[in-house]
């Protein structure tokens, strides 16, 4: 089953000829989730052959233009294409009125419902789930209310050991009960713990999106052992003063978060256009956390299944 992230935009405030502003698409079991929607997102979706009509949920981190300006055009395009499916948008409270005023002004007789879900940027809470994925918020520290998102595969039903089905001649109803967590009681009244019958074949995969934020120890604790972390690195550490002033992180700080949280892989983006040599971000981060890559528009990162055994 697919669990992958495609980078649509990796620049910070100013787009460049090679980098569009922030936007990622997460594919979980062929369901697409859009995270941030910077200017030109719909162009990138077409360029990288991602079906726009399969995006029903958009997660916005904050109301700065390089993270949201693309959503107005995307919604307009959906309307021109005659979309009927509801579109769910998640984001801080300050963007709700802005979104609907723009829809009202630019979109005539919209053909679908846009449902806005206000998220609290200061709390950790589950905001969405289905049978494949669970989404939780990650409080960030920026100049305006900002929130990151953690996506985890939904827990799968437990597997039952086939040899024990035969050994105890289990009925279908007994198998179902054991898979749902019940212990097994033999005809003689012996209680056999559920853990002896069941096992998890694969560990749930995870991806976290953290942009824009100052360094945060609280964030470290929320990211423990995730598989793939996207963390903004707008500046190099030589410009730490500027990073603090603007509410951003350096490549060194992002790598420190990854190291302390014991993540599987760190990917860096949201680079300031002031830098011409982006390899400096990679070198700075890899000196602390070797499992680091810098992202490019159109790049895809796949999180592979890991056995629990």
Sorted by where each begins, the domain ranges of the chain are: 3-156+200-307, 159-198
Q: What is the pLDDT of residue 169?
A: 80
Closest CA to 175 of 197, 200, 155: 197
For residue 237, the 8-state DSSP code is G
Q: What is the pLDDT of residue 91?
A: 98
Residue 254 pLDDT exceeds 70:
yes
**Better-predicted residue by pLDDT, 270 or 171:** 270
Mean pLDDT, residues 80-95 taken together: 97
Mean pLDDT computed over every residue of the chain: 93
- pLDDT per position as a tens digit, 154-212: 987 777 778 877 777 888 888 878 877 788 888 887 888 887 767 776 789 999 999 99
Closest CA to 204 of 129, 309, 305, 300: 305
Residue 47 pLDDT exceeds 90:
yes
Mean pLDDT, residues 234-259 taken together: 97
How far does Cα 195 stand from its chain's mean position? 32
Indicate whether this model's pTM tops 0.85: yes
Q: What is the pLDDT of residue 172?
A: 84
> Which CATH code, of 3.40.50.2300, 3.60.15.10, 3.40.190.10, 2.30.30.90, is assigned to 3-156+200-307?
3.60.15.10
**With bands split at pLDDT 50, 70 and 90, how would you rate the model's confidence at 17?**
confident
Instruction: Provide the token pair at 262.
Output: 């014991």
Mean pLDDT, residues 88-102 taken together: 97
Q: Please give the positions annotated as active site.
A: 66
CA pair distance 171, 246, nearest whole angstrom: 63
CA pair distance 143, 212, nearest whole angstrom: 9
């Amino acid at each position: 089953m697919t669990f992958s992230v495609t980078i649509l935009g990796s620049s910070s405030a100013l787009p460049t000829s090679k980098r569009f502003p922030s936007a990622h698409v997460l594919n979980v079991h062929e369901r697409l989730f859009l995270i941030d929607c910077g200017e030109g997102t719909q162009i990138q979706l077409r360029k990288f052959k991602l079906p726009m009509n399969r995006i029903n949920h958009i997660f916005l981190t904050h109301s700065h233009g390089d993270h949201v300006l693309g959503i107005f055009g995307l919604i307009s395009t959906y309307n021109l294409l005659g979309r009927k499916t509801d579109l769910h948008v998640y984001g801080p409270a300050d963007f709700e009125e802005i979104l609907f005023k723009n829809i009202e002004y630019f979109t005539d007789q919209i053909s679908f419902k846009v449902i806005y879900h206000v998220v609290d940027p200061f709390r950790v809470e589950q905001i969405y789930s289905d049978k494949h994925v669970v989404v939780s918020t990650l409080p960030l520290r920026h100049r305006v209310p900002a929130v990151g998102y953690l996506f985890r595969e939904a827990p799968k039903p437990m597997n039952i050991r086939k040899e024990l089905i035969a050994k105890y001649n289990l009925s279908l109803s007994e198998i179902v009960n054991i898979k749902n967590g019940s212990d097994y009681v033999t005809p003689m009244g012996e209680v056999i713990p559920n853990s002896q019958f069941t096992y998890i074949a694969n560990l749930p995969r995870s991806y976290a999106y953290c942009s824009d934020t100052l360094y945060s120890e609280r964030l470290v604790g929320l990211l423990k052992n995730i598989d793939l972390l996207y963390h903004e690195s707008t500046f190099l550490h030589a410009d730490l003063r500027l990073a603090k002033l603007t509410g951003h992180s350096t490549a060194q700080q992002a790598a420190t978060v990854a190291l302390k949280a014991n993540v599987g892989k760190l990917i860096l983006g949201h680079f300031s256009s002031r830098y011409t040599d982006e390899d400096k971000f990679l070198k700075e981060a890899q000196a602390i956390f070797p499992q680091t890559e810098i992202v490019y528009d159109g790049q895809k990162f796949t999180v592979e299944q890991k056995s629990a055994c």
